[in-house]
Amino acid sequence: MRRGGADELDEVMEVMTAAFQPCFGEAWTRSQCAGILPMHGVSLTLAEQGGQVAGFSLVRAVADEAELLLLAVDPSEQRRGIGQALLDDFIATALAGGAHRLHLEVRDGNPAVELYCTSGFSQVGRRRNYYHGPDGQSHDAVTLALVD
Ligand SMILES: CC(C)(COP(=O)(O)OP(=O)(O)OC[C@H]1O[C@@H](n2cnc3c(N)ncnc32)[C@H](O)[C@@H]1OP(=O)(O)O)[C@@H](O)C(=O)NCCC(=O)NCCS
């Protein structure tokens, strides 16, 4: 695993497009990623397998809080522990950096909720109709937090 930057956006977008189902409207666009990367406290972590980017996380740390903005693993590499490794890295890095509250938003019903909850996150809120699919359908997000 290593930290990445704007130079790796092609690889990140490849994983993003393959990992997120378009019907739920969870994936970010390239310009959203490019826009947030230079911001203070934002970091991109890449997980590589055989020299290729297999997964990534995008994180924002502000004061004593850290937010997991995105986590994705290429479908061909899923269920091999890469998502867990990226999540563990997020948690360890955030705590080492002085964060006391870690949080994230995820679509209600996304199987990733299982991954987060087994790593110590629990639901603290719900945002109604947070995600918008291309078919006009809306989907709730749940807010999960881990408090140190
Ligand atoms: C969520 C995601 C990042 C998980 O990545 P991954 O590399 O497959 O995860 P891991 O192999 O590390 O899984 C660790 C554990 O999480 C849980 N888990 C992961 N994916 C799961 C799934 N689809 N259904 C149920 N549990 C799951 C399991 O407990 C798993 O352990 P196990 O394989 O021993 O049963 C990946 O499925 C993904 O990219 N999804 C699409 C993007 C997305 O929705 N991201 C989350 C919102 S930002």
Number of H helices, E strands in the chain: 4, 7
Question: Residues 111-130: what's their mean pLDDT?
Answer: 97
Q: Residue 52: CB within 6 Å of ligand 1?
A: no
Per-residue pLDDT reduced to its tens digit, 9-33: 999 999 999 999 999 999 999 999 9
Nearest CA to 43 out of 53, 58, 54 is that of: 58
In CATH, what is the architecture of 2-147?
Answer: 3-Layer(aba) Sandwich (3.40)
Q: Residue 118: CB within 6 Å of ligand 1?
A: yes
CA dihedral 142, 143, 144, 148 (to 10 degrees): -170
Q: Residue 24: CB within 6 Å of ligand 1?
A: no
pLDDT at 139 over 90: yes
Mean pLDDT of the chain: 97
pLDDT at 138 over 90: yes
DSSP designation for 139: E
The rounded Å distance from CA 130 to ligand 1 centre is 21
Per-residue pLDDT reduced to its tens digit, 68-101: 999 999 999 999 999 999 999 999 999 999 999 9
Which residues are marked as active site? Answer: 105, 116
Tell me the C-alpha distance between 112 and 116, whole Å.
Answer: 6
Work out which ligand 1 atom sits closest to the CA atom of 115: 16
The rounded Å distance from CA 139 to ligand 1 centre is 19
Query: What is the predicted pLDDT for the residue at 148?
Result: 86
Whose CA is closest to atom 34 on ligand 1? 79
Question: Residues 47-73: what's their mean pLDDT?
Answer: 97
